[in-house]
Structure 1
Amino acid sequence: MPGLSKLCLLYLYCFNEYLKLVLAFTPTNTVWGHNAALVGSKIYYTGGVIPNGTIWKDVKDFGNTPNQYATQSKEFYYLDVSVPFKINEAITSWVDLSSVSIIPSHSWSAFSLCGSENSTLVMFGGDFGKTTPANLVFTYNAKTLQWSNPVTPGQPPNKHTRSVCDFKTGKMYMFSGTLNTVNASMDIFDTKSLAWGVGIYIGGVDSHGPIPLYNINDNTWSSMTTTGYLPTPRGHHSSVLTKDGRIIVYGGYIYRGTLVPVTDDLVVLDTEGSVFTWSKANVSTLSPPSRCYHSATMVDHYMIVAFGRNDLYLPSLTMNE
Structure 2
Amino acid sequence: MNFFENYIFRWLSIILVWTAVDGFTPPGRFRESSALVGNRLYFFGSQNIAQQRDNIYLDVTLSTLNTTNPSWFMSNPIPAEFLLASSCVGGPNKNTIYLLNHLTSNGDSNTTIVYAFDTVAATWSTPNISGQIPLSRQQFQAVNDTNGKIYMFGGFKYPNPSFNVIFNDIYILDTLILAWIQGSNVNAPTPRVDFTATLLNNGLILYIGGTVGDSTIYMSEIPTYNINNNSWNTMIATGDTLNSRS
Please say if 1:137 is aligned against 2:114. Answer: yes
More helix, by proportion: 2
Q: Are 2:172 and 1:181 aligned?
A: no
Distance between the aligned counterparts of 1:183 and 1:159, measured in 2? 8
Match of 1:53 in 2: none
1:40 is matched with which residue: 38, 44, 50? 38
2:163 matches 1:159: no
CA contact (8 A) 1:115 1:192 kept: yes
Structure 2's unaligned 5+ residue stretches are: 1-21, 158-163, 192-216
C-alpha offsets along residues 265-311 of structure 1, whole Å, 9 cap, x if unaligned? xxxxxxxxxxxxxxxxxxxxxxxxxxxxxxxxxxxxxxxxxxxxxxx
2:88–2:98 CA contact under 8 A, matched in 1: yes
1:76 partnered with 2:74? no
Please say if 1:114 is aligned against 2:90.
yes
Q: CA deviation at 1:155?
A: 1.5
For 2:190, give the aligned amino acid: G
Cα RMSD of the aligned pairs, angstroms, is: 2.4
Letter in 1 for 2:73: V
Counterpart CA distance in 2 for 1:157 and 1:130 is 17
**Deviation of residue 199 (structure 1)?**
4.3
Determine if contact 1:43/1:81 at 8 Å carries over to the other structure.
yes
Gaps of 5+ in 1: 1-22, 51-69, 236-321
TM-score, normalised with respect to structure 2: 0.68
CA distance in 2, matches of 1:152, 1:94: 32
- What is the identity, as a one-letter code, of the residue corresponding to 2:181? G
Q: 1:24 deviation in Å?
A: 4.2
User: What whole-Å deviation, never above 9, does each CA across 1:25-52 have from its counterpart, x for those lacking one?
Assistant: 22221x11101111111100110112xx
Give the 3 Å change call, closer, same or farther, for CA 79–46 of structure 1 in structure 2. Answer: same
Q: Residue 43 of structure 1 contacts residue 78 of structure 1 at CA under 8 Å; is this kept in 2?
A: yes
* 1:203 Cα deviation after fit: 4.8
SS in 1 for 2:93: helix
Whether the aligned pair in 2 keeps the contact of 1:170 and 1:191 (CA below 8 Å) is yes
Pick closer, same or farther for the CA change 1:27–1:126 going to 2, 3 Å: farther
Shift of 1:107: 0.4
Partners of 2:176 and 2:32 in 1: how far apart?
25
Q: Write out per-residue CA displacement over residues 126-160 of structure 1, whole angstroms, 9 at most, x where no aligned residue.
A: 45696136771111121232221012122111111
Q: How does 1:208-227 map to 2 (within 5 A)?
A: 208-227=219-238
Q: Cα gap change, 1:148/1:111 in structure 2, threshold over 3 Å: closer, same or farther?
A: same
Give runs of ≥4 in structure 1 deviating > 4 Å: 127-130
1:85 maps to which residue?
A: 66
* Residue in 1 that maps onto 2:25: 26
2:239 to 216, 224, 228: 228
> Structure 1 72/159 Cα, relative in aligned 2: closer, same or farther at 3 Å?
farther
Counterpart mapping for 1:228-307 below 5 A:
228-235=239-246
Distance 1:183 1:94, change over 3 A: closer
> Quick one: distance in 2 between partners of 1:162 and 1:223?
18
Inter-partner Cα distance in structure 2 for 1:26 and 1:126? 28
Report the alpha carbon displacement of residue 120 of structure 1 after superposing the two structures with TM: 1.0
Alignment partner of 1:125 is 2:106: no
Name the % identity.
Answer: 28
The structural deviation recorded for 1:117 is 1.4
Quickly say closer, same or farther: Cα 1:198–1:85, change in 2 above 3 A. Answer: same
Contact 1:136-1:158 within 8 A present in 2 as well: yes
Is the CA contact (8 Å cut-off) linking 1:211 and 1:224 kept in structure 2? Answer: yes
